[in-house]
């Protein structure tokens, strides 16, 4: 691959420098008015207060790359899940594999979705870490805001945050009696119900309860199938109890429960998107079937064909999904002298009862999956108060998790090869334990210049055992070669050095160097061994500014990553025996990621707001040779499009009786990206896509009734999101509907 005349990083540095100079010039227009100037009521963009760095501060004054979506932003865009949220963000892609969230930020992601795997982006609800992928999908309701931090967050968030962090901040109880209810009806038999009530109990205590139910039929075309294909039937509830004992002391108790039901995840064949010769056939695979396509060529056959599931799904699989996630969280805050103290406790239980249905090397297979997991975390945090030149936050963190999984992969071999079943059973117990101490301080070198230093020490231990290990349960077979017992430990010290400077009142520039760390682990097949932690060092510089009486808000940054021991996960067979087919993780050699990001909002007149973002990224393997005959050096990482762009506009129209109509239209562009089986040396290229959304919302003069009509993915664009042997999980088709709500 030829190098461009200017690398993405060089172009990024030039763009950031130009933007900084332009920002300084624009800011001159934001000078204070003279006494003679008339007073004009500001209709600027509302500043959002965030807690991304463990203390409350304005988003525009936080010297890191982050995006914030307020509850109003989410409502205008009709966001009800993580994937639609990502379409509003620069350099963030969220997809699903087997019903679980797969987050990629700046090309950094984790593909191990099993019980032994950990995410690369730390997912939090109200500051509490959510470790299991299955529990991350049902929390998108009654939200105050969402904070997405791009880049490694090793100092304040610790392990498994090499890509970044996602924080969902829910609405908390207030001293106002209020409530709301809304109903959504759409195509694919979509039904969505939201409800909330906030009750002040007395002068000290208040309660807030919220419920959410989402249901829709499958988005897939069954073709000749007569089996349940992936659908949604989720129900969630959350209750907050907040006690404010004084101005500085409070206790927040939260209970949350979600049922994740419906038909289980279902892939579509890779031949729906690509043509070529099937490869990696097992000795008895049907002709023309296999795990991968050699030299795959993308063919756009249209949404209907792309969404058609295979005819080979087993008809009597009893495919279903009946999972539940229960959590309890507590947060106590008080002031000790001149120091604020916060203690957070979080406990989560996940229960799985699921049977997946699919195709494996050309044959139907079923995957019964059951078990439970329990995780508990404690964080004790102290932070400074006052207005002195030194501000700091320090704390201790403890996390403990136990996972039990019973699973079986049953492949049904059919004529002309006879009729028999190959069974791979698993009965695993995994434990994760992590301890950390962390601190970050910011010191004012001058009134307009600040230095930030951060440090975190982490100790991790992961154990696992499985007496079966996936060995084929055929007559006469033994489990001795597949059973495993593993115990691995890791230590890491993450750090951060940052400097930020106020160019003028509302314009800040910053630069920092930070590190991130993702724990290592072991594979479920003993022969595949263990893998090391991955680490990432990030260099970043940026500018943030608010101009023209806060009617224009801009943030831009450039970054460079040194990415070492990247963890790569693939599903393949070590031999022609199907009992050796498994998902396993290895460490690649080093990678590098360079890029630039631009994000902004501007008020258009008194009634409009334009939002947009642009990212350019060059993510490559620096030196990676998985075998003597395969060399990926210089090739792009998976799930790392060179460019993404978002543009949306909302306009408010006054109507009779004091009511209002808000119309929103937006479009999302994503450049081409790769999804690979690196072990088999096969890479699938998803071409560039774009999708557009629109909504119109009427609100009555009293602010009680709302009616919204919406359509998402107007183009009916379908893209591949993740790979399993012989197939892909895909994005959603065009959806539309009407939402009616009442507030009181």
Per-residue pLDDT of 237-249, as tens digits, reads: 999 999 999 999 9
- The helix or strand, by DSSP H or E, that contains position 75, with its residue range, turns out to be helix 71-77
- Flag the least confident range among 7-21, 356-370, 560-574, 646-660: 7-21
User: What mean pLDDT is predicted for residues 243-257?
Assistant: 95
Specify the CATH number for 8-30+49-743; select among 3.40.50.300, 2.40.170.20, 3.40.50.970, 3.90.550.10. Answer: 2.40.170.20
Q: Sorting pLDDT into bands at 50, 70 and 90, what band is 35? A: very low
Task: Please name the residue that has the structure tokens 């019973």.
Answer: 406
Question: What is the per-residue DSSP string for 345-386?
Answer: EEEEEEEEEEEEEEEETTEEEEEEEEEEEEEEEEEEEEEE-S
Element housing 706 (H / E): strand 705-712
Alpha helices, DSSP H, located in 1-43? 8-27
Q: How far apart are CA 537 and CA 534, in angstroms?
A: 11
User: Residue 29: pLDDT band by 50, 70, 90 thresholds?
Assistant: very low
Select from 641, 637, 636, 563 the least CA-distant residue to 597. Answer: 641
Residue of 699, 693, 692 whose CA lies nearest to 739: 699
| pLDDT range class, residue 41, cuts 50, 70, 90 | very low
* Residue 243, pLDDT score: 96
User: At 84, is the pLDDT very low, low, confident or very high (cuts 50, 70, 90)?
Assistant: confident
Instruction: For residue 115, give every residue at least 6 positions away whose Cβ sits within 8 Å of its Cβ, in sequence order, or none.
Output: 371, 373, 403, 405, 428, 430
Give the domain ranges of the chain.
Answer: 8-30+49-743
Q: According to the model, what pLDDT value does residue 453 have? A: 96
Q: What is the pLDDT of residues 143-181, one digit of tens each?
A: 999 999 998 988 888 778 888 998 999 999 999 999 999
Name the burial class of residue 60, with classes exposed (0-12), middle (13-18) and buried (19+) by CB atoms within 10 angstroms of its CB.
buried
Residue 710: what pLDDT?
94
Mean pLDDT of the chain: 85
SS3 letters for 378-411? Answer: EEEEEEECCCCCEEEEEEEEEEEEEEEEEEEEEE
Compute, in degrees rounded to 10, the torsion defined by CA atoms 552, 144, 383, 150. -60
Statement: residue 442 has pLDDT above 70: yes
pLDDT tens column, 403-434: 999 988 887 776 655 677 778 888 899 999 99
- List Cα–Cα distances, 471 to 56, 574, 686, in angstroms: 52, 13, 35
pLDDT at site 60 = 83
Instruction: For 678-700, write each residue's pLDDT tens digit.
Output: 778 899 999 999 999 999 999 99
- With cut-offs at 50, 70 and 90, classify the pLDDT of residue 9: very low
Tens digits of residue pLDDT in 544-584:
999 988 899 999 999 999 999 988 887 766 666 666 667 78
> What average pLDDT does range 275-281 have in this prediction?
82
Residue 480: per-residue pLDDT: 56
- For residue 23, the model assigns a pLDDT of 37
Backbone angles phi, psi at 480, to 5 degrees: -60, -35
Q: What is the pLDDT of residue 224?
A: 75
The pLDDT of residue 255 is 96
pLDDT confidence tier of residue 13, bands split at 50, 70 and 90: very low
Give the pair of three-digit tokens for residue 167.
């924080």
| Confidence check: pLDDT of 20 > 70 | no
Q: What is the pTM of this model?
A: 0.87
Percent of the chain beyond pLDDT 90?
A: 53
């Amino acid at each position: 691959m030829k190098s461009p005349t200017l690398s993405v990083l060089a172009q990024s540095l030039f763009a950031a420098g130009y933007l900084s100079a332009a920002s300084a010039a624009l800011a001159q227009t934001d000078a204070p008015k003279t006494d003679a100037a008339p007073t004009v009521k500001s209709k600027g963009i509302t500043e959002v207060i965030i807690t991304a760095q463990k203390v409350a501060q304005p988003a525009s004054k936080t010297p890191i790359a982050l995006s914030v979506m307020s509850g109003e932003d989410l409502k205008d865009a009709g966001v009800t899940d993580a994937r639609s949220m990502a379409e509003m963000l620069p350099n963030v892609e969220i997809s699903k594999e087997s019903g679980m969230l797969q987050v990629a930020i700046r090309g950094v992601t984790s593909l191990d979705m099993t019980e032994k795997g950990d995410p690369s982006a730390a997912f939090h609800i109200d500051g509490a870490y959510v470790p299991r992928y299955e529990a991350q999908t049902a929390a998108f309701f009654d939200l105050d805001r969402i904070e997405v931090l791009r880049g490694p967050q090793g100092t304040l968030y610790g392990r498994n945050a090499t890509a970044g962090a996602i924080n969902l901040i829910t609405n908390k109880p207030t001293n106002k009696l209020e409530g709301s209810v809304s109903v959504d009806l759409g195509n694919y038999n979509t039904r969505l119900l939201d409800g909330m009530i906030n009750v002040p109990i007395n002068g000290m205590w208040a309660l807030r309860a919220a419920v959410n139910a989402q249901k829709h039929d499958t988005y897939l075309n069954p073709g000749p199938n007569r089996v349940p294909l992936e659908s949604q039937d989720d129900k969630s509830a959350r209750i907050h109890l907040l006690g404010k004992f004084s101005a500085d002391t409070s206790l927040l108790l939260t209970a949350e429960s979600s049922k994740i039901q419906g038909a289980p995840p279902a892939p579509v064949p890779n031949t729906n998107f690509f043509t070529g010769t099937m490869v990696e056939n097992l000795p008895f695979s049907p002709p023309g079937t296999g795990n991968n396509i050699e030299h795959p060529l993308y063919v756009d056959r249209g949404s209907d064909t792309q969404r058609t599931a295979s005819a080979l799904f087993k008809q009597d699989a009893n495919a279903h999904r009946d999972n539940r996630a229960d959590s309890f969280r507590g947060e106590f805050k008080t002031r000790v002298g001149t120091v604020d103290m916060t203690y957070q406790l979080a406990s989560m239980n996940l229960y799985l009862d699921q049977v997946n249905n699919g195709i494996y090397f050309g044959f139907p297979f079923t995957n019964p999956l059951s078990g439970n997991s329990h995780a508990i975390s404690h964080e004790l945090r102290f932070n400074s108060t006052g207005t002195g030149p030194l501000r700091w936050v320090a704390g201790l963190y403890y996390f403990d998790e136990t996972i039990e999984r019973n699973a079986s992969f049953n492949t049904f071999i059919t004529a002309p090869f006879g009729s028999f079943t190959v069974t791979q059973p698993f009965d695993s117990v995994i434990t994760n334990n992590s301890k950390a101490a962390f601190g970050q301080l910011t010191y004012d070198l001058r009134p307009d210049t600040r230095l930030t230093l951060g440090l975190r020490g982490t100790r991790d231990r992961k154990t696992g055992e499985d007496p079966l290990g996936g060995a084929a349960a055929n007559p006469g077979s033994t489990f001795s070669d597949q059973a495993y017992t593993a115990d691995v430990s890791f230590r890491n010290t993450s750090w951060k050095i940052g400097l930020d400077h106020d160019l003028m009142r509302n314009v800040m520039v910053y630069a920092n160097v930070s590190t991130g760390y993702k724990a290592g682990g072991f594979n479920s097949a003993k022969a595949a061994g263990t893998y090391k932690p991955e680490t990432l060092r990030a260099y970043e510089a940026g500018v943030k500014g608010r101009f023209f009486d806060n009617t224009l808000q801009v943030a831009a940054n450039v970054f460079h990553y040194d990415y070492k021991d990247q963890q790569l996960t693939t599903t393949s067979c070590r031999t022609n025996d199907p009992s050796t087919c498994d998902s396993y993780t290895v460490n690649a050699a080093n990678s590098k990621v360079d890029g630039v990001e631009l994000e902004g909002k501007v008020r258009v007149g008194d009634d409009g707001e334009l939002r947009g973002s642009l990212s350019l990224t060059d993510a490559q393997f620096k030196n990676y040779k998985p075998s003597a005959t395969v060399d990926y050096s210089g090739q792009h990482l998976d799930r790392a499009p060179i460019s993404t762009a978002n543009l949306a506009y909302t306009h408010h129209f006054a109507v009779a009786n004091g009511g209002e109509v808000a119309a929103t239209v937006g479009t999302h562009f994503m450049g081409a990206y790769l999804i690979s089986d690196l072990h088999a040396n096969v890479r699938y290229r998803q071409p560039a896509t774009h999708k557009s959304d629109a909504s119109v919302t009427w609100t009555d003069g009293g602010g009680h009734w709302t009616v919204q009509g919406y359509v998402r993915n107007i183009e009916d664009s379908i893209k591949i999101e993740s790979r399993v042997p012989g197939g892909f999980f895909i994005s959603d088709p065009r959806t539309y509907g009407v939402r009616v709500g009442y507030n009181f």
